Chains A and B, each alone.
Chain A
Amino acid sequence: MGIFRLLSHLLLTVFVLYPGLVQAQVDDSEAQQLLTSLAESSFAEKKEVVNQIAGSGDERARGWLESFASNKLGRIESSGQFIIVLENRGRDWTVESALTGENLGEISRRDIDTVRVNNALRNELESILSVLDLKSPEEHNRLTAARALKGSVDGVLAERLPELMSDEKSDSVRAALTEALAIYQVEEQGDVAAVATLSGSLNSQARAALQQAMRSDDAALVAAATKAMASIEQKLKLNRAAETLYFGLSLGSVLMLAAIGLAITFGVMGVINMAHGELIMLGAYTTWGMQQLLPGQPGLALILSIPAGFLVAALAGIAIERTVIQHLKGRPLETLLATFGVSLILQQLVRTVISPLNRTVITPDWMSGSVMINEALSLTLNRLYVIGFALVVFAGLMLIMRKTRLGLEVRAVTQNRAMARSMGIKATKVDILTFALGSGVAGLAGVALSQITNVGPNLGQAYIIDSFMVVVFGGVGNLWGTLLAGMTLGTINQLLEPWAGAVLAKIMVLVFIILFIQKRPRGLFPQKGRAAEG
């Protein structure tokens, strides 16, 4: 098999590098035969067939291999005709002929036998396809291909790589190819000179190669590899620290977003709203609903959900305020129980009306994946957006509280209700608007959370305790306190988590807050003045 693989790789490389020389083309019966042996052999044997197909030089080969890799190559049970599955959801699949490319329409899944693929084969296919991609006119494709080659270069390819590199115009592709070659040289040939190339590389394959070199008998090689490793370790440590900080900030912004609506209703109005979590849930469900209304445009739906989520939650908030909370003014225990009841009602309402099952909220393409800073540090995009969104919401709230008439009135009512009323402020109206604002912000939090957690009836429950924790820790009624508390608790949690485990980390954070509250009962930023004492 080794010889086989070498041979086919040779063929392939020749084909890739001198396309003009090879005009191989298989006729349909040969193709049918190749695909049949692919379908009928065991996983171990399939490897050979894959190389045969790749080496055949047929222009359809790439399509076959790609669809095979994604489990979309199949055979119609009755006729033995090979097909490529275009759409494989549901019970009828849309297919086209693998040999002619003719669209065959929808065929029941019962009649299709898929040609099975597994991870090992997919890996093999990927390296074969990336060799093909090295000649792609798109720089992006070449770069991806060159990166994929790290750790999978073999002897034949290694001989050809220098030539490819000299033809390469893009620096980054050339650098990736150089590294791929160096990994091969260190791993297979114990090349001391190549070790220097790997020094400072953050690629995990490069690290594996160096670790292997450190175990070799050649003293010079060991010394060079150890030195290169030390510089890598140093860099890795820095990257790990940066990553932990990012994780902390991202969890912190989620906590802050979930809590800031509560900071307004609980902090400013003094209402303990146990249904706050369910208002978050409503925001998340609004996102789902929007995506149902605008199928195929998850990004647009998500953006429209921002105002819609705010509105839905704010209206629900007003309803709760009017029907329950206003009748229980000044009776915190009863308010707590009543709003807890409201939260249960809302949860069960969602279960009965929509479904007890979680709903799928699609993440738009521009929010999936991550930005690669370097090969050891990449920032996940959805979290990055949530951090940005949280900061925008915070800034917006600060503006409302500081610069608008509503903000002024809210602050006045908070500080001294009786005095504010005697100055002509309608306290009832302020109450409604404040509660609507706090609820609306909870809805915004729900829109953001729909991108990072499950949208289901239990969504709110998961965040209510955390929200109270952040508000109490930050100092009741202080928005800056909420921001700082969210970020602090998030970072502490993420620092502890790898070391203590998720369960223990959470317990430790709670213990920390209990101790902190003992020392400073009013949180990080206590409210000053006589009103705060009452």
Chain B
Amino acid sequence: MSISKHVKLSLSALALSISFNSVAAEDPIKVGILHSLSGTMAISESTLKDTMLMLIEKQNEAGGVLGRQLEPVVVDPASNWPLFAEKARELLAKEKVDVIFGNWTSVSRKSVLPVIEELNGLLFYPVQYEGEESSENVFYTGAAPNQQAIPAVDYLMNDIGVERWVLAGTDYVYPRTTNKILETYLKDKGVAAADIMINYTPFGHSNWQAIVSDIKAFGSAGKKTAVVSTINGDANVPFYRELGNQGIEAADIPVVAFSVGEQELSGIDTGPLVGHLAAWNYFMSVESDANYDFIDAWAAYSDNEDAVTNDPMEAHYIGFNMYIEAVKKAGTADVDAVKDAIIGVSVPNLTGGYATMMPNHHITKPVLIGEIQDNGQFSVVWETPSTVAGDAWSDFLPGSKDLISDWRKPLFCGNFNVVSGTCGGQAKVAAE
């Protein structure tokens, strides 16, 4: 009777797997991933897609959430800003996803914002940005200017004694707004206008000779000079190469960058760049067990021993875990319930501390300043004593300093003017 036993066994196994599948397939939580897989931004964004897939896979291995599996839905907005809006609509209206993780550039976020709000979706945005925004439907897990730019400038001013400033950036909304905030901040601190040089370059700029030589001349006026760089994307590689070739050493003119992470550095020989700085909320070199585990998991998932991790990846890690916690807390994946439940949720970050979702939909983060090492990693030289809560509306821009954001009831407002006491005291966006 062994044959019939076999048949029985396999039949029951089949039945089991069918029933199991039907339970799982009955109601998975759909996670939309809106990152460019082609075009200019693919270099940065495709890694984030893989990060999300890894996190989802791990969560599913651990049994999903509320007994439901997670199902990733990947779309490719192809670095095309209007296409971001179309793809977001496709995710929400057609695929009916419960949550979206996505976007990199501010312009792409601005493009999907009306769609997300109209269709009442959830978006987790993982990149440092210029602030001046707070949406009911968006959670900002990257740094606001007060979590990156301002502390970095403080460090240069107080610890390094910098008196002369070059603000160099790529020509679009994030650098322009950040530099406007920094300019006001520096002038408030008593820096003369003649000691500030501002320079913008197009995306993908590759011929840095004249500009670097200009910075060198500006820095040889006898006062300690530093470059605050909001240069974005792969334009950084030829920029740093030119710095190295023209012999600008960190000891003479340090460059502190807000958009240069481990991934950008993996494209260059960092020998000549040792000592230049970056300000982030996470570095791959952070000595914490959570971080080492994450790196091991990432290397295994991407099947590459030397795979690097970076700050936006950590932001997705935090955002994803916060979402899971919020779903657990709410007991459902319903958008409105999750939106309410997530405020106040705390999850571990990768630097050995905790991140908490604030009522303004920004999170608390430690601010780290790292110096570039010859192995393409950063060594942390300074960090804030405790975590800093993200500020949606900068205190250093006119029109924005009176605004606060609080998405808890009864206030429930993204731009509440504390002077006039009204909601909707729309701030003039600084960068236009």
Contact = CB atoms under 8 A, between A and B. Distances in A.
Interface string B182-211: 000000000000000001111011110111
Interface stretch (B21-29, B103-111, B119-127, B236-244): B236-244
Interface in B125-152: none
A484 interface: no
B267 A454 contact: yes
Contacts of A70: 274, 374
B246 A501 contact: no
A247 interface: yes
Given A43-B381, A454-B234, A119 B209 contact: no
Given A360-B267, A502-B202, A244 B210 contact: yes
Contact of A114 (B202, B289, B299, B379): B379
Given A90-B305, A123-B251, A360-B266, A251 B379 contact: no
Contacts of B209: 247, 250-251, 380, 383, 494
Contact of A119 (B47, B200, B244, B250): B250
Nearest to A115: B379
Interface of A: 43, 70-71, 88-91, 109-110, 113-114, 116-120, 122-123, 126, 204, 207-208, 211-212, 240, 243-244, 247, 250-251, 254, 348, 351, 356-360, 362-363, 368-370, 378, 380-383, 452-454, 456-458, 462, 493-494, 497-498, 501-503, 506
18 contacts: A71-B379, A88-B373, A114-B379, A118-B371, A119-B254, A122-B275, A207-B222, A359-B267, A363-B241, A369-B245, A380-B242, A382-B245, A454-B267, A458-B40, A458-B204, A458-B234, A503-B201, A506-B202
B200 A380 contact: no
A503 B160 contact: no
A465 B191 CA distance: 41
B43 interface: yes
Given A71-B379, A358-B237, A502 B254 contact: no
B200 A502 contact: yes
B171 A503 contact: yes
A380 B245 contact: yes
B238 A454 contact: yes
Q: How extensive is the interface on chain B, given as a class?
A: 35 or more
B206 A462 contact: yes
Contacts of B242: 380
Interface of B: 37-40, 42-43, 46-47, 160, 171, 199-202, 204-207, 209-211, 213-214, 217, 220-222, 234, 237-238, 241-242, 244-247, 250-251, 254, 263, 266-269, 272, 274-275, 287, 289, 292, 295-296, 299, 305-306, 371, 373-377, 379-381
A362 B270 CA distance: 11
Given A116-B381, A119-B251, A360-B266, A452 B206 contact: yes
B232 to A, nearest CB: 13
A126 B204 CA distance: 35
B34 to A, nearest CB: 16
Nearest to B210: A497
B364 to A, nearest CB: 25
Nearest to B274: A70
B83 to A, nearest CB: 15
A107 to B, nearest CB: 13
A212 B223 CA distance: 11
A356 B221 CA distance: 42
Given A109-B292, A369-B245, A363 B269 contact: yes
A458 B376 CA distance: 24
Nearest to B379: A71
B211 A502 contact: yes
A46 B244 CA distance: 28
Contacts of B245: 368-370, 380-383
Contacts of A370: 245-247
Contact of B251 (A122, A243, A457): A122
Nearest to B47: A357
A265 B270 CA distance: 39
Contacts of B244: 368-369
Nearest to A458: B40
Contacts of B292: 109-110
Contacts of B289: 110
Nearest to B46: A356
Q: Which of A118, A243, A498 neighbours the largest number of chain B CB atoms within 10 Å of its CB? A: A118
